[in-house]
Amino acid sequence: MTDPTGLIAYACKDGNAVGIAVPINFVLHGGSSQSDVNRMIGAIENSWSGKFGNFNVKAVVMQVFSSNESVNTVHVIDGYSLNGSFSRVKNNQHGLWFTRPSRPGGLDYPHEAGHLMGLPDFSTGQTVMNNLYTSGKPDKWEIQQAINNAVSSCSCGK
């Protein structure tokens, strides 16, 4: 199933239990490695998993090794942006992520994954989607938006 917005994420909700899955094809460039990808995946899963309001969330990144319309594609660039820009998602499901993050603690990756889930930047609050200052964790509203924006949303028990 393809999301017409180009954003690819899946959500499953059963009561307060929520599963979020984001399929990503990581394309390595210029010295970037699978170790960098593993660090990015870990940052995303750590940030988006936990208890947020009444939601108990388990988030996973599904690393996919092919590019098609049902997968987010992220180009991993060794180093950092020379012009000072952050890692970013462009054209909805395509990203350009640097191995040296701009935000403390590698928070670029969970923030950008939020864009892959259809969330915009927020300038208020200290959540993962704040475009400058972030705690690295979403709030319950962002979790609800990720569920609402998902390509496929189901009851986990079915």
Domains in the chain: boundaries? 10-146
Q: Which residue has the higher pLDDT, 120 or 91?
A: 120
φ, ψ for residue 54 (rounded to 5)? -90, -5
Q: Which of 146, 130, 123 is nearest to 48 (CA)?
A: 146
Q: Higher confidence at residue 3 or residue 121?
A: 121
pLDDT digits (tens, 9 = 90+) for 38-82: 999 999 999 999 999 999 999 999 999 987 767 888 989 888 766
User: For the chain, what percent of residues have pLDDT higher than 70?
Assistant: 81
For residues 140 and 137, what is the distance between their CA atoms, to the nearest angstrom? 10
Between CA 95 and CA 85 the distance in angstroms is 13
CATH 3.40.390.10 describes domain 10-146: yes
pLDDT for the residue 156? 58
